[in-house]
Amino acid sequence: MGNSLNKHIKTLALLFGCASVFVTQSCDESIAETEKKSNRNFASQIIYNADIVRRDSGQINLRFKAPILEKYELIDSPYIEANKGIYLEYFDKKNPKTPGKIWSDYARFNELRQFYTAKGNVKIITSEGQSFAMQSIYWDRRKQTMYTSDTVFVSDKDGSMLVGAYGMVAKDDFSQYTFTNNTGSFPATEIPKAGK
């Protein structure tokens, strides 16, 4: 009887041991599944009334303002979002005393790709005074290119206007840009005469 009892106790201990390993492993698997399914796409940092100044050799080359900035950094492709709009001043070497300016209702900055998006009533004024208006623009900083497929309205200081009906591709300093299907009005003095 004692031997039989010991066998049962050992069998029960072995079963409980296996059960505890199974339960522990199952718990670990369910915790891992829960972590996989958990949403990591939430703002890890929030800045209110952001006023950011970037300097190069003591000179301001960028000033950025936004009512709210949210940084999403716990995901594979971190980004910063400005849901309440932005105002940006940038200074270039061509005209270091007069900044170019950008406004938009929304902006997003993908840090890894160095890719920027501005949407909603986008307005850009270059340091030379040329004005661009559109609903969205994208900036690939690595390629130093800005582009949009929206209609772009361009006005010059002299009042002439150009409409790029199917978008624009531009260098990021707006020293060169190309439009598709252009229409517009120009002062008659600037239209070249035939044969010249």
Q: Write out pLDDT tens, residues 45-57.
A: 889 999 999 888 8
The token duo for 172 is: 């990021």
First-to-final CA distance of the chain: 120
Environment class of 116 (CB within 10 Å of its CB; exposed 0-12, middle 13-18, buried 19+): buried
Query: What's the pLDDT tens digit per position in 55-113?
Result: 888 788 889 999 999 999 888 888 999 999 999 998 877 777 889 899 999 999 998 88
Of 64, 31, 30, 32, the C-alpha closest to 50 is 64
According to DSSP H, which parts of the chain are helical?
2-37
Query: What's the pLDDT tens digit per position in 114-150?
Result: 899 999 999 999 888 899 999 999 999 899 999 999 9
DSSP SS3 for 172: coil
pTM of the model as a whole:
0.69
The token duo for 111 is: 């840090």
Amino acid identity at 192: P
Lowest mean pLDDT among 19-28, 40-49, 171-180: 19-28
Return all residues near 47 (Cβ < 8 A) that are at least 6 apart. 66, 68, 69, 71
The token duo for 152 is: 């772009």
Exposure string for 136-147, b = 16+ CB within 10 A, e = fewer: bbebeeeeeebb
The DSSP letter of residue 42 is S
- Contact assessment for residue 164 and residue 178, using Cβ atoms and an 8 Å cutoff: no
Neighbours of 162 (CB within 10 A): 19
User: Which residue's entry shows tokens 């890890």?
Assistant: 44
